[in-house]
Amino acid sequence: MTRRISRRSVIGVGAAVMAAGLGGAARAEAKPLRLVAFGDSLTAGYGLPREQGFAARLEAALRAEGIAVTVTDAGVSGDTTEMGLARLDWSVPAEAEAVIVELGANDCLRGLPPAEARRNLEEIVARLTARGQKVLVAGMYAPRNLGAAYTAAFDPIFADVAKAHGALLYPFFLEGVAMRADRTLPDGLHPNAAGVDAIVAGILPSVRALIERARAARP
């Protein structure tokens, strides 16, 4: 015997399926996105209470905008790009969906060869990308007292690496902070609380774009 299905029933089933789909999308959207800030003392909040560090202030700024996210501080003071590469696998868990890579300042402060920093950053970003994690590369400029040849070799590294791996780029992590006594600690290098807030305000648009990429990649 053939059972007739009414138009009302079809519409009802379609609405239920649509509601279920929207509900699933809403649940995926509501699930906090896992973001890791992977870097050196600039990420780690050197000289500041943890709640005033970059990761904590970035998470607070994003949540104030209604963005569900957890930002993990994976910064280690003194790290060069080589040191970051050596600890990459245990510092950035596979479950992380997005990563901000902020390394390189200590390479140039120590006068290490720019070619080494380039190789290390290439490997870091390549490995993160191969995992399916979305990456934002935070750039750095070499101190000008290192000479024109050094700065010409060092400064383009971050844009080149980001472009090669389809990562996002924030050109200069210390934009609006470097060389400003009111936004740095007495050492003149590390951001104070006001400096961290300035960094967060500057990088926020890039982080929003990173989060959009990571959300779009969710199953």
Question: Does residue 77 have an active-site annotation?
Answer: no
Q: Cα(first)–Cα(last) distance of the chain, in Å?
A: 41
Residue of 40, 41, 107, 197 with catalytic role: 41
Say if CB 192 and CB 46 are below 8 A apart.
no
Q: Which two tokens stand for residue 131?
A: 């995992």
Q: How many residues does the chain have?
A: 219
Q: Give the DSSP H or E segment for 170.
A: strand 168-170
Q: Which two tokens stand for residue 200?
A: 């967060």
Residues of 107-136 as b/e, b for ≥16 C-beta within 10 angstroms?
bbbeebebeebbbbbbbbbebbbeeebbbb
38-to-33, 115, 213, 216 alpha-carbon distances in Å: 16, 21, 18, 22
Q: What are the φ and ψ backbone dihedral angles of 42, each rounded to 5 degrees?
A: -70, -35
Question: Does residue 190 have an active-site annotation?
Answer: yes
Question: Does residue 187 have an active-site annotation?
Answer: yes
Q: Which two tokens stand for residue 62?
A: 């994003």
Between vectors from CA 184 to CA 182 and to CA 187, what angle results, nearest 5°?
Answer: 125
Residue of 107, 165, 190, 197 with catalytic role: 190
Supply the residues annotated as catalytic: 41, 187, 190
